[in-house]
Amino acid sequence: MKQMMPTELKAWLDDRGREPPLLLDVREPWEFSMCSIEGSLAMPMNSVPARFRELDAGRQVVVICHHGGRSMQVAMFLERQGFSQVINLAGGVAGWAAQVDSSMATY
């Protein structure tokens, strides 16, 4: 399972010469409404088994949660479903707030 630090994701998103990944946020709706990384797609973890076919299995996907645990589980699930370019955001949105965007709400 590939992992990426928040600062690495920020550099990727800032690189105009590189196709951005799909940012898949698997937190609960109440969490997503508090804070999210711009451009993220909300798909709560419990809905992923029923909805993963909505995603492009050939696209690079960065899976996001609060601290990185739920997203790791979803990333492993997606890999088992044939997704070959899945990356877990280590530290989740909490890491993003601490390392990239100090103005982001935390909980």
User: CA nearest 49: which of 88, 28, 90, 80?
Assistant: 80
Q: Give a yes or no: residue 107 inside a domain.
A: no
Looking at residue 2, the DSSP 8-state letter turns out to be: E
- Helix boundaries (H) for the chain: 6-14, 29-34, 48-51, 69-80, 92-99
* Mean predicted confidence (pLDDT) in 88-94: 98
Q: Please indicate, yes or no, if residue 39 is contained in any of the structural domains.
A: yes
- Name the residues annotated as catalytic: 65
Threshold 0.85, pTM exceeds: yes
Longest Cα–Cα distance in the chain: 36
**Can you give the pLDDT at residue 49?**
98
Query: Is residue 104 a part of any domain in this protein?
Result: no
pLDDT of residue 1: 83
Domain limits at 86? 2-99
Can you give the CATH number for the domain in which 12 is found?
A: 3.40.250.10
The Cα–Cα gap between 54 and 69 comes to: 23
Q: Does a structural domain hold residue 106?
A: no
